[in-house]
Amino acid sequence: MRFTFLFVCLIIAVVIQTALRAIGINFPLLPILIFYAAYVYGPLFGFGLVLPAAFLLDFNGGWSHPWSIIGFLLAAAFAIFWLYRIESDSLIFLAVPGFLLPVIGDLPQNIIAGDFSFSGILESCADALANGILGAVTFPFWIIVLDFFSKKLGLCTYGEAKERVKKEKI
């Protein structure tokens, strides 16, 4: 059931992100989904989403190489770090990964696509900052939405993942 849920979420996120890019909005939803999958369902599911997400997004966007793999791997690794190292259950504290995920998930591919030119790097950093601020505001909303559907399907949720890790440490 987890695989089906994540596959459907992956397709929806790719369609939304591709549609947003087509109208000029470059908000990365896939790093958020990869973070959620790695955090809630474990590294296997998080890292397992990286390749299909990168291929679907980049090839639908017209890129010849899946440069998104770099940022998506960083997002999955950040989720594992966040799960095992950060001790906070506050919904407001979710603004931190909400800010960092668009930056680490999208900045590497934008810099590579900009051919490492000064103006390309500057534009990519400005885009990452704007997406980070938007991500900090919307990330708790995305967690609530994904948890809602996970709960309805009888799957593990974001809060239960932290409890599971705490029980493993004891």
Can you list the alpha helix ranges (DSSP code H) found in the chain?
A: 2-22, 30-41, 43-60, 68-85, 95-113, 118-152, 158-169
Question: CA geometry: angle at 8 spanning 58 and 128, to 5°?
Answer: 40
Model-level pTM?
Answer: 0.90
Q: In which domain, by residue range, is 132 found?
A: 2-169
pLDDT in tens, 108-142: 887 877 677 788 788 888 888 988 999 899 898 99
Identify the pLDDT of residue 58: 84
Structure tokens, 136? 């900090």
Domain count of the fold of the chain: 1
- pLDDT tens digit sequence for 17-33: 889 888 888 888 999 99
